Structure 1
């Protein structure tokens, strides 16, 4: 009789444990299904993000190409606003004002015409100090009949001359001077670097 009770108790215990294990297994299956659904959702979201990234990258490339097509400068020229600038930075040979202008004109441009403080700031930020304080970069400003005239025929309205009492008729910009007093008068035969300017091609 006691053995039968023991067997019954063991049977009940096994049945309860089996039921508990089945419930745990059922719970694990439910959680696994939930995780599978969440994984699928994350995969869908990742795919959407990839699609959006691909679209954004394509749009970025399109706008970059559009920008390049809208404004174009020759190779080795630097764009600022609607113009392109060439800074002649070779250590030799330096050139006279006339030779510098001929070089620019042979490249379908002319010596730079500076018409605003913004343009002056840009140009001065790009030039380099070299040799001594008198050497700079020729710009397209010359004295004609005692009037300072740019190569495009316009009169100078900025007056950034460093040595206005000089009798020399040609002008270069130097790096080692204040922003609004950085134009040095020199004779045509003085040898300097120079800056060319051309309008950017706009499509």
Structure 2
């Protein structure tokens, strides 16, 4: 058998082509090679041909990708800020409502506090009044308990027909501070110091105890001179030899230099009377206790409440 022949087609460049066409793209040269035992022909690009994309398209694609990513991030940021702004507005409104509620609560508490303070003041005032009323009743009861028979008619009388009004002192007695005084005037019988004290006790009282300068001045203003300069009004002060001190009928001690003596260097007797002088603070003298003179009784004043 004859040996099978294979053919190929070879195309050569035209040597006559001018140099001006060298810049043109080179022609593709295909070779037709018939494979042994095959009738098909394969075409392949000639050596030197390049199928890669153009170099200038790759940077544009990168820029586009970056811009796309930035747009996505920007949109995400805008959405996040919008959500955050909405939540912030809601929180602000909530805080404003809370502040308003707190302001209202503070006003209510201040009102309650003011009411409580007023109530406390009222309670303190009521307590003070009740305390005064208690002390007043206690004092009155002490006086009444000392009386064997409380002389209502000597303290109280009816006014305006049916209204009964009571005085702190019996009729005929004078009120000064918290005490009542009965001063006997010259037309009354004169008595010794001991007899004068007994008379005061019969009247549910005792000889006066002078404990202050205003009280001494009050007594001096209410008394008057009679008979001679040695006669005056017996008071409840006498010298107690067993105690070797000047003592009042209520048991309190009187210092010699603290009294209202006419002349403390000439004290000779043990009973004291106050004499009407030009100086009310130099009025005490000590005549004989058996000398007859007038006297002054003192009792506790009642404190009536109307």
TM-score normalised by L of structure 1: 0.63
1:74 aligned to 149, 170, 174, which one? 170
Whether the aligned pair in 1 keeps the contact of 2:186 and 2:226 (CA below 8 Å) is no
Whether the aligned pair in 2 keeps the contact of 1:163 and 1:185 (CA below 8 Å) is no
More strand by share: 1
Give unmatched runs, 5+ long, in structure 2. Answer: 1-158
Matches of 1:120 and 1:175, distance apart in 2: 11
More helix by share: 1
User: Given the superposition, is the C-alpha separation of residues 87 and 122 from structure 1 closer, same or farther in structure 2, using an over 3 Å criterion?
Assistant: same
Residue 186 of structure 2 corresponds to residue 86 of structure 1:
no
Paired position in structure 2 for 1:121: 217
User: Deviation string for 1:128-166 (max 9, x for gaps)?
Assistant: 000000000000000112311110010125311113222
1:105 aligned to 180, 185, 201, which one? 201
Paired position in structure 1 for 2:80: none
* Structure 2 SS opposite 1:124: helix
Residue 245 of structure 2 corresponds to residue 147 of structure 1:
yes
1:167 aligned to 264, 268, 286, which one? 268
Which structure has the higher relative contact order (CA within 8 Å, separation 6+)?
A: 1
Whether the aligned pair in 2 keeps the contact of 1:79 and 1:85 (CA below 8 Å) is yes
User: Given the superposition, is the C-alpha separation of residues 93 and 170 from structure 1 closer, same or farther in structure 2, using an over 3 Å criterion?
Assistant: same
Paired position in structure 2 for 1:179: 280
Q: How many residues align?
A: 138
Matches of 2:189 and 2:218, distance apart in 1: 25
Whether the aligned pair in 2 keeps the contact of 1:82 and 1:200 (CA below 8 Å) is yes
* Structure 2 SS opposite 1:104: helix
Give unmatched runs, 5+ long, in structure 1. Answer: 1-60
Tell me the C-alpha RMSD between the 2 structures: 1.9
Runs of 4+ in 1 over 3 A off after TM superposition: none
Paired position in structure 1 for 2:3: none
Whether the aligned pair in 2 keeps the contact of 1:161 and 1:185 (CA below 8 Å) is no
